[in-house]
Amino acid sequence: MLIYLAIAIIGAVGGVVFALVAQRGAQPSPVTDSYPVPRQLHRADFPNPDAPWLVALFTSASCDGCAPMRSKVEVLASREVSVCELSFPQARELHDRYAISGVPMVLIADAEGVVMRAFVGPTSATDLWAAVASARDINADVDPGLGALP
């Protein structure tokens, strides 16, 4: 009888140890971006590299949501803001260099090419304007987190 009690205790302890090890290994995986956004651009790769700001729209010929983004981005152009569209496959080299895997992708970069704001997928003209305003002026009266990179 004592042997059965010892086996039961050893089995219970083994079960508890197994449960603790299994629970420890079941940690949730970290959240990853489905479509990673480049953090740095080489401004010489884009038109008007001397402009203080760049708004780059990465698109694809097969993307239905890309065409409406063109007009939303074009209105942001000014002396201070250079705007360009980089369509795949015509601009395949830049899509590959910056590992663009989701379009439309809008990147807002400063004079050094640091990507300050980004949008993946269709975005409203209001949100794009606000993100450019926020990136250009840290005192702007818009949501500073709009399009911000984590």
- Give the pLDDT confidence score for residue 140 in this predicted structure: 57
- Residue 14: inside a domain: no
- Residue 57: inside a domain: yes
- Residue 3: inside a domain: no
* Spatial distance between the Cα atoms of 150 and 145, rounded to a whole number of angstroms: 9
pLDDT tens-place values along the chain, 150 residues long: 667 665 666 766 666 666 666 666 656 666 666 788 999 999 999 999 999 999 999 999 999 999 999 999 999 999 999 999 999 999 999 999 999 999 999 999 999 999 999 999 999 999 999 899 888 875 555 555 666 666
Query: How many folded domains does the chain comprise?
Result: 1
- Give the pLDDT confidence score for residue 121 in this predicted structure: 93
- Residue 7: inside a domain: no
Q: What angle, 0 to 180 degrees and rounded to 10, lies between the N-to-C axes of helices 66-74 and 125-136?
A: 50
pLDDT by residue (tens digit) across 81-108? 999 999 999 999 999 999 999 999 999 9
Give the CATH number for residue 101.
3.40.30.10
Residue 97 neighbours by CB under 8 Å, 6+ apart:
45
- Residue 107: inside a domain: yes
50: domain range?
Answer: 43-136
